[in-house]
Every structure is written in C-alpha cells, then in structure tokens.
Amino acid sequence: MKNIKNVLVINGPNLNLLGTRETKFYGNISLTHLINDLQIKAKKLNMTLDHVQSNAEHVLIDTIHNSKDNVHYIIINPAAFTHTSIAIRDALIGVNIPFIEVHISNIYSREDFRSHSWLSDISQGVICGLGLDGYYWALKTISNRLI
Ligand code: DQA
C-alpha cells in the first residue's frame, strides 16, 4: 500500500485565489501553475503528488482522514485555519501522518493573530515567508527523508 512515495499537498481557504489575491504577500503565480510545477518536480524525485484545496474546514478534515493508508507525507498550508482550527490539528494527530506546515508569507511579520499556529508544535517543521519556494523546500526535505 505504501510502496510508492505519495505526498499530499493541502491548501486551505482563499488559496484558490493565489496569483490575484493580496499579491504583495502571495505573489502573482496561480495555484494551478504551482501544483503543476510541483507535480513535475515530485515525479523527478520519484514521488507522486496529489493536491486538495478547499475553503471548507470539513473537506480538509475528511481529506486528512482519507489519507491515512495511502499518503506518506503531507505538505499543508492551512491558511486562515492555521490560527483557528483545533479540528485540523486533531485530524492530523489522528492519522499520524508526518507533515510540514508551509506559509507563503511571513506570518510573524503581520498581524499579531497570525503569529499563533495550532499546528506548528505537532509538525515536522514550518517554512514561512519564503513565498512559493516554501512548497518546493518542503518537497525536497520529504524526498531527502523518504529515499
Ligand atoms: C497564509 C498565512 C495566513 O495567515 C493566511 O490566513 C493565509 C495564507 C500564508 O500562506 O502566508 O491565507 O497561510
């Protein structure tokens, strides 16, 4: 079941607007472009990469639950749910899949409420403020650890 190295990228609310939303924080590259490119990189690293973006908390939770038996590693940008969702925290603990938390912007240089994450202490690591590069660094780290 876990013979192939499967990575799941999860993006939370409003990240479907990547490329047009608050470009000073999030840049002007679309989510579709990012994911297509990450999939190419993953293939070169001998991994599969699936992606789910949702604006609904329960969809993200169901996605995490459904990953239990077929995903080796999760890269998650929970977006605003970072700062609010104990339910996503519990889901990640519940399935026991290692994950890396990514934020495009530097959440520590913005409003105070963005400085707290409900996920960071249970993550393998956090990458924040490096723009979209954060997703690529997360993928690279996963490939270093899995192969
Ligand atoms: C974000 C930071 C969050 O505070 C914000 O709500 C987002 C995106 C980031 O990638 O920088 O939607 O997770």
Estimate the crossing angle of helix 31-44 against helix 133-146, to 10 degrees.
Answer: 20
Indicate the fold that domain 9-55+107-147 takes in CATH. Rossmann fold (3.40.50)
For the chain, domain boundaries = 9-55+107-147
Q: How many whole angstroms from 78 Cα to the centroid of ligand 1?
A: 7
Give residue ranges with CB within 6 A of ligand 1: 14, 77, 79-80, 82, 103-105, 107, 114
**Please, are residues 133 and 140 in contact by the beta-carbon 8 Å criterion?**
no
pLDDT score for 52? 98
89-93 contact pairs (CB < 8 A, 24+) = 89/118, 89/119, 89/122, 91/60, 91/61, 91/64, 91/65, 92/64, 92/119, 92/122, 93/122
pTM score, two decimals? 0.96
Residue 26 among the catalytic residues: yes
- Residue 147 predicted with pLDDT over 90: no
Percent of the chain surpassing pLDDT 70: 97
pLDDT score for 4? 74
- Residue 7 predicted with pLDDT over 90: yes
Chain-centroid distance, C-alpha 67: 14
For the stretch 89-128, pLDDT in tens is 999 999 999 999 999 999 999 999 999 999 999 999 999 9
- Residue 2 predicted with pLDDT over 70: no
Q: How many whole angstroms from 145 Cα to the centroid of ligand 1?
A: 26
For the stretch 58-72, pLDDT in tens is 999 999 999 999 999
Six-digit token string for 38: 């990450």
